[in-house]
Structure 1
Amino acid sequence: MQASAKQSTDQQGADSINSVFNELLNRLTKADVDIGLSEPYNDENDSLFITEPMRELQVFHVLGLGRGSPGVRVVVVDGSSRRLGSPRFRVFLAGVAVYGGNTPLRLYPMTELVEGVKFIGVKAPEGVLKEIENDRKLRHYVKVKFEDGNTYFHERANEEDVSDDVRMSLESWAIEKLAGELGNGYAVVLDGPLYLGVKVKEKLAERRVNAIDGLKKRGVSVVGVVKRVENSRKLCGKDVVNALSKSVDASINVDPNHCNDPLVIQVVGKKMAKGVGDVLLIGPFKQRHNKSSNIMNYTFPERVFWYVYSGLGPRVFRIETLDSMYRNFRDIIDGLVTWLASSIDRSGIPYIIDVADHFAKQLTRSMYLLFYNIAKARDVAFNYDTEQEALGIMNEYAQAVMQVLRGVPR
C-alpha cells in the first residue's frame, strides 16, 4: 500500500515483522505481573441516537441475485485482528485488506513496514508499556494507548476495546490513503460500521469520520456493511415499528422490552419474502442525535441505514452511510445499496465483503502463527484459548498442504 510515511527499504528487513516481534518479546518476557480482569466492554450505544423512518421507507424486493451493476468502481476495506494471551500480557495483531480499484489487492503489513503505522497492540503493566513507547523501533509499530493518546492499554483495559482500537486505527489509515488516490467514479465499502458510537471512543470515531470526509471531498461515496447486529436495537422504537407495519400492511408484533434489530427484520421477512431468491431491502432509516445525550455532533454524525433480509438462513445485515454523504451522493448510494443487497452469496453476505474478509483473516492468521512460533521458541507460556487457536490454525495449514499435494482443488 502506498504511503507518504517513511518505509523501511533495507533488503535485510531492519524493520521486518520478525525483527519487530523479536524486539517486542524482549520487552514482554520481562513482565512479572498478572494482568487480571478486564473492565466492561464499551459496545455501540444506541441511546445516543433516535431512529426515525425516512419518508421514502419501503420494503423493496430485490429479485434475482447477482443482477445489475453498482454504477461505480467499488473498493472494499476490511480489517482483521487476533489476540494472543499469556498471564503477563496480551498481544493484538491487526491487518487490513484493500480489495478492488487499480490494484486488485493490497495487504498491510507485508514485507515493508511503514513507520508510524501501528499494527500491534499490547496490554500489559504500565511500566512495560512505557518501555515499548520509548523503544526506538517498537514505538513506530506498537500501540500502547487508546486513540485519545492519554489512556494506556493497562492491566484492566477491556480487550475488546483494545482490539477495536488497534484494528479500526489501521483501517482508518487505509481509508486516509485511499482519500489521496480515488476520485469520481469510485465508491468505498467498509466491512463494519462507519464508526463506533461510544463516548469513550470519540477520538477513534473522529479519525474515522475525518478519513471518510476526505473521500467525500474527492467525490467518493462510502457505505459500511455491518454483519454483527445482534446487539443493535435501532428498530425497536414505536414509531419505527408502526412505520414498518404500515409498509408491509401487517402488524409487526414485537415486545419492545425483548427486542433487537434482527428480530424485527425476521418478522418483516417472514411476512413479505416470496422465497429464497427474494432479498428484501428495508429502509431507509435515519439516526438523528438524541439531544439529551450531549454527544459531539461532529464526532458522531447522523447516519442513514437500511437492513437486508436475505432468506438464506437467519442472518440479516445493515448497510449504513453518513447522512451528509447520502445528501451529496443519493443516487449513487441508492444504486450501491441495491447492488450490495443483490450480490449476496450463500453466507447471506455480499460476496465482495466475503472476499476482502478472507484475505484480511488470512493475513492475521499468518501473523498469529509467526508470533506464536517465535514466542514458543522463547518458552512463553500462553493461555488455553491461544494454544487452541494456534492448534486450529496449524491444522488448517496442514490440511491445505495435503490438499495441494493430493491435487484436490480448494
Structure 2
Amino acid sequence: MVRKSYSGVVATVPVSIPYERYSIESAHWWIGRALRALAQGAGISHREIDGFAMASFSTAPDSAIGLTQHLGLSPRWLDHIPMGGVSGILSLRRAARAVQAGDADIVACVAGDTNQVDTFRRTLENFSRFAQDAAYPYGAGGANASFALIARHYMDRFGARREDFGKLCVAQRTNALRNPNALMKKPLTLEQYMNARPIADPIHLFDCVMPCAGAEGFLVMREETARSLGLPSARILSIIERHHAFSDDAVQYRGGWARDIGELYSMAGISQDAIDVVQTYDDYPVISMMQFEDLGFCGKGEGPDFVRSHSFEIDGSFPHNTSGGQLSAGQAGAAGGHLGIVECIRQVMGLAGPTQVEGAKLGLASGFGMINYDRGLSSGAVIFWGETT
C-alpha cells in the first residue's frame, strides 16, 4: 500500500525547558512552561493552539483532558500518548495527520515530567502490569536488568564490546559539553567509562540515563501557516511507527524500524546516505547501536564495526545525538522521547547554536519505548528537511 505523504505539514518552534536533577514542582508546571514557550516562540496566544498532544508519566491522576483546564486551553483535537520514548514520534505523526485533515491548525506536542524524591520509584511501581506482577515485587529496580539481558544477548550474538558502547557514551558527553542545558558538565573518558561501577552486568554506570525533571515541545502546522507567522520550519518527509515487532525473537536484537525502513526512505525520496544528522533514542547505548542497523546505516550485526569505523561527535563522520542525548543531557521522563526530535528540528533549521552540525539539512530522529521484560514494544522514526523563512 502506498501511504499518503506528509506534504505541506511542518514542525516548528522547538523548545526545551532546562532540566533539573530534582524538582519540587509538578509535571503540570513543567508542561505549562513548555506550552508558554511554544506560544511565545510562535508569537501567538496559547488560546490559538487548537490541538494538544501530551506525554508524561507523572501527571496522574490527570491526563491530557485535565491539563486543558490547568493550562487554559480549548483544543478541538486532543491526544494523550503514554508511550514513553516513542511518544514524540507518535505525537508528531498524529498531529501531522490532524493538520492535514483540517481537524486542527496548530498542534502543540509537549512532553514533560517532574522528578521529585519519590517520583522514580512510583513510576517503576506503576509502569506496567508486567512490572507490577513480575518484576517490582521481586526487587527489580527498573529497566537496568532488562537492558542488561538485551545488551548481553547482543554482545554474544554480534561481538560487541563494552568499549564499543563506551565510544558512543564518550562522544555524547563531548557533544553535551557544548549544550548549555545538559546536566552532565564534566568530560568523560573511555577509561572512566570502563572503570565505572557495575549496575547490572554488562550495564555499568555510564550506560544508564539520569532521571531528571524537564520538558520538551514543538508545534505542528501547515507550511503556509508557519510562513504567515514568519517561522522557520522543518518539513516532515516521512514517519514510521511499529509496535510489538519480531515477537519470535527470544531476546530482542532488532526493533520495529527494520520492518518499515523501506517506507521511511521511499516516502522521503532519499537514501540513508543523504542524512546529515541522526538522533537515536539512547536510554542505553546498545539500543543506539541496534538502531544504526535497523535504520539502514549498516547491516544487522554490523553495528560494532560501524561504531569502530566512525566518529560520533558534532564534527565527526557520523554526527549523532548532538545535544548529548539522554545519556548526557538527562532523561526527563517522557520528554526523553521528544529530546531527539526537538534537537533534530533545530539542526535542520540551522538553529542549534553551539551544537549545530555545519550544513545539516536532512535529519533523522527515532524513538523507542515501553520496555517489557526482554524487549521494547514500540519504535518509530521521522525524517525532516529544513527550510528557513
Normalised by the length of structure 2, the TM-score is: 0.26
Higher relative contact order (CA closer than 8 Å, sequence separation 6+):
2
Normalised by the length of structure 1, the TM-score is: 0.25
Which of 1 and 2 has greater Rg? 1
